[in-house]
Amino acid sequence: MSDCKTYYLTTPIYYVNDVPHIGHAYTTIIADTIARYSRLKGIDTFFLTGTDEHGQKIEEAARKRGKTPKEYADEISAKFKALWDEFEISYDKFIRTTDPEHIKGVQKAFLEMYKKGDIYKDYYEGHYCVSCESFVAPSQLVNDELCPDCGKPTRIIKEESYFFKLSKYQDQILKWLKEEKPILPESRANEVIRFVEEGLKDLSITRTSFEWGIKLPKEINDPKHVIYVWLDALFNYLTALGYGSEDESMIKKYWPAKLHIVGKDILKFHAVYWPAFLMSIGYELPKKIAAHGWWTRDGEKMSKSKGNVINPKEVADAYGIENFRYFMLREVPFGADGDFSEKALIDRINNDLGNDLGNLLNRIIGMAYKYFDGKVSSKDIEKYYSNELNEAREIIKNIEEKYLWKMQTHKFLEELWKILSIGNKAIDTYKPWELMKNNEEDKAMALIGLIANLLAMVAVYLHAVMPKTTSKISDALGFEINTKSFKAINEGKLLDDFVIKKIPPLFPKIEKPLMKKEEVKKEPENIITIDEFFKVELKVGEVVEAEEVKKSKKLLRLQVDLGEEKPRQIIAGIKEYYKPEELVGTQVCVVSNLKPAKLMGMMSEGMLLAAKDESGLSLIRPEKKKKTGTPIK
């Protein structure tokens, strides 16, 4: 990986059905770290992120909020972009699947596959999970109904659909998975291989029961279909480079992608469907697909209904973006699930960053000024401390291939911290204050030089994780972090002599949790969705006849005109508050799709809306006269 000329890496494109959370931030921060590292090495890097905006899930989310899908997508996509900008994510392109160039590219790919004979028209009947936007085979269902991935109920759909011949590519995909080993961590590969070995069924790739998606290419002329959102989304990795346009220079330069970073939940789409689509259009396959685990909060799965979803901005506002980046990359082994707790974050900041890194820097600033007016020299390090220096160089030698390109960011950081501990140990072992007392000034200066060089190594390698913090360190140590200094340090060169700068502590100790404690915003139990509300049909009606129900103290028998063939009979419990004659000719609001019921032997075919308090009952009526039968919305 380290000798490649270009490096193209991607995050998943995020669904715009909801605002960004810590899971999205995690994927993006890993990708940003790898991109920054690659650039620092001098590799021509292209880093893509963006938003996934079509599909049934978005259409429904928009409708619930009374917006058009595009309005809603614009709003949420802007939130993702604003967050990444605030986090100084170094993406080169932010793609949206509603971009006209993307739409064109997807249609071109569809047509290519169609012409190749890889797409045919049939009928899909089966389960669909709207939340995952995925077709679920009957054998995968949990309790015959639930989605195996998100646990939500699936819907049964029955519609005409175009299919992609996924089965045709089964052997080729298997071979690729086994021979090229593209999946990281490798331990995740088995589950994908097993999935393919169990047999791939052809994949439904168009939908007809909603509209929010890319239309089929006009050459196919079948306007009621829209392209399946996963096919649409996956092609973003190519359309972002100009696939579908005249200019293919970016594709030539950057394709195949060196790395797709994804969550474990969407690995199958990237490691099975995506390569099959690419094989069909005759493109090379991505080099690596790295799947990370899921974040929980204080040991619990995050969900909106529990009110425990972490907003990355709140964490960054309280603790600083770079500390947060460090925490996420250090806390969990890549691929495993991780838990977010403020305590764990504070411990990492106070211990790893404050004690191990910050204090070491403060200690040499202090000693350099106490003993040498801030001057630091590398002249005698090899003479007195070659063991320590070589130990650190050995760590640097392996750190990239073994850990960084394999996404093992926690190990990568653990290794860097070993260098810090060589430094901290050297101070405790050689005690510069005693060296000074014993007139061994050269040895004391060399010790300070050693520590400065160890800190320089750490700063350079940590730069991709904490760009600003490490620039402050390098500034104190009299050098700049760039490709040249990266190369020099990588080759084991030492810092030139310099005067160290005094800087304020980088990681002030955190004494107590800093995030505002949100009250857990639980949705009240009785909450209903707008869809549920619209199940109730309300209409304006006019009372055309009214009489008392003789044997009842409460009931009146009304005939109410709802603009239907004949008036409806409604038995209403309002006798104590209204006289029949004062009702006739007035308008009322009626629940018109209530199941008819018998009251005192008489059929009642609806219900009047009324409000009742201590002062009595009042019917709810339209403020101005409306046509009978007008729906109330």
Which residues are near ligand MSP by CB under 6 A?
12-15, 23-24, 26-27, 52, 233-234, 236, 262-263, 265-266, 294-295, 302
The backbone region for 320, taken as left when phi is positive above 0, alpha when psi lies in -120 to 50, beta otherwise, is left
Closest Cα to residue 335, out of 26, 32, 13?
26
Rounded-to-integer distance, Cα 339 and Cα 324, Å: 13
Instruction: Assess contact for 374 and 368: CB atoms under 8 A.
Output: yes
- Which residues have C-beta within 8 Å of that of residue 349, sequence separation ≥ 6? 319, 323, 327, 507, 510
- Could you please report the per-residue DSSP string of 299-353? TEE--TTTT----HHHHHHHH-HHHHHHHHHHHS-TTS-EEE-HHHHHHIIIIII
Cβ-closest position to ligand MSP: 263
Rounded-to-integer distance, Cα 205 and Cα 469, Å: 47
CB 556 to ligand MSP: min, Å: 55
Rounded-to-integer distance, Cα 201 and Cα 180, Å: 23
Strand-strand pairing, 119-129 and 134-136 = antiparallel
Instruction: Give Cα separations from 3 to 42, 43, 257, 289, 400 (angstroms).
Output: 10, 9, 15, 19, 12
Closer CB to ligand MSP, 185 or 580, in the complex? 185
Closer CB to ligand MSP, 297 or 554, in the complex? 297
Instruction: Assess contact for 197 and 190: CB atoms under 8 A.
Output: no
Instruction: Assess contact for 145 and 153: CB atoms under 8 A.
Output: yes
Rounded-to-integer distance, Cα 608 and Cα 226, Å: 43
Residue type at 247 in one-letter notation: D
Say which DSSP state 146 is in: B
CB 456 to ligand MSP: min, Å: 34
What is the Cβ-side half-sphere exposure of residue 278, based on CA atoms within 13 angstroms?
24
CB 26 to ligand MSP: min, Å: 5
Closer CB to ligand MSP, 23 or 242, in the complex? 23
DSSP H helical ranges for 87-183 = 100-115, 170-180
CB 264 to ligand MSP: min, Å: 7
Q: How far is CA 503 from the centre of its chain?
A: 36
Instruction: Assess contact for 23 and 322: CB atoms under 8 A.
Output: no
Tokens, residue 313: 């901005």
